[in-house]
Structure 1
Amino acid sequence: MIEKKQLTCVACPKGCEVAVEFEGNEIISIDGHACPQGEDYAKEEVVAPTRILPTTAVVKNGSLPLVPVKTTKAIPLEVIHDAMSIIGSLEVEAPIKMGDVLIENILDTGADIVATRNLARNL
């Protein structure tokens, strides 16, 4: 059965409204994109959507109770909730430096969870 999906492309600042017709994982047509990245974005969004995951992790003995973290690359949308559960159970010790790898290769996605700011130890 042929399905249709309307997307707002986020591949570039134009924000094109892209229409995709597909059947299963087979793309039939993509219309409305103004640049090649829009076509690639639409294909990925229909066949295998991914996202960068930004969130926070609990810090022990830190100047703040949480440190912002993110994945080093986009991970499959279908594993976001599992990744959030793993990160939610994480507790890291201060001090933390921006770029510190807190979890390697989360859920075998090839993405690490890294700190996105420095956080000093509570004195």
Structure 2
Amino acid sequence: MSAANEERTVTCIVCPSGCRIKVGIEGSEIVRISGNQCKRGADYARAEVTQPMRVLTTTVRLEDGRLLPVKTASPIPKVLLFDAVKELSGVRVKAPVKIGQVIYSNVAGTGVDVVTTRSWN
């Protein structure tokens, strides 16, 4: 296939089946999707090819230097992961914190909050 016509293979992570989905692309258009066992797989493959999204899991520092595990409350564009990590590298949080507490808003300009994944006194 030429650069204008390509086929990408995506491994679906929506369910445990792990379908290997082939996505046919002509120019900038998706023209076919095959190999998925369900509609959710086709939707995942379409999104993965056009704008891949990921939940960012990382740590930020508590004021006393300990590391606090955090994650984005919802997926953000994969291309913004490094920007988000860089932005969070300077964040310092004062304990106590509760699991699910928002510690940072609008990470990397995405409108997505960063929340704690554990409580800490």
* TM-score greater than 0.5 by the shorter chain: yes
Where do 1:43-82 residues align within 5 Å? 43-61=46-64, 65-82=66-83
SS of residue in 1 equivalent to 2:119: coil
Superposition deviation, residue 13 in structure 1? 1.3
Does the 8 Å contact 2:60/2:93 carry over to 1? Answer: yes
Name 1:15's counterpart in structure 2: 18
Where do 1:37-116 residues align within 5 Å? 37-61=40-64, 65-116=66-117
For each residue in 1:2-47, what CA deviation from the matched residue of structure 2 results, as whole angstroms up to 9, or x when unmatched? Answer: 1111111001111001111113431011110001100000000000
Q: Following superposition, which runs of at least 4 residues in structure 1 exceed 4 angstroms of deviation? A: none
SS of residue in 2 equivalent to 1:44: helix
SS of residue in 2 equivalent to 1:39: helix
Structure 1 unaligned segments of length 5 or more: list them: none
Does the 8 Å contact 2:87/2:108 carry over to 1? Answer: no
Distance 1:72 1:25 in 2: 30
What TM-score do the two structures reach when normalised by structure 2? 0.92
For each residue in 1:63-118, what CA deviation from the matched residue of structure 2 results, as whole angstroms up to 9, or x when unmatched? Answer: xx111100011000111100010111111111111111111111221210000100
Distance 2:14 2:41 in 1: 6
SS of residue in 1 equivalent to 2:82: helix
Count of aligned residue pairs for this structure pair: 118
Distance 2:20 2:28 in 1: 20
Does the 8 Å contact 1:75/1:111 carry over to 2? Answer: yes
C-alpha RMSD of matched pairs (Å)? 1.2
SS of residue in 1 equivalent to 2:48: helix
What fraction of aligned residue pairs are identical, expressed as a percent? 42
Letter in 2 for 1:81: F
Distance 1:6 1:119 in 2: 42
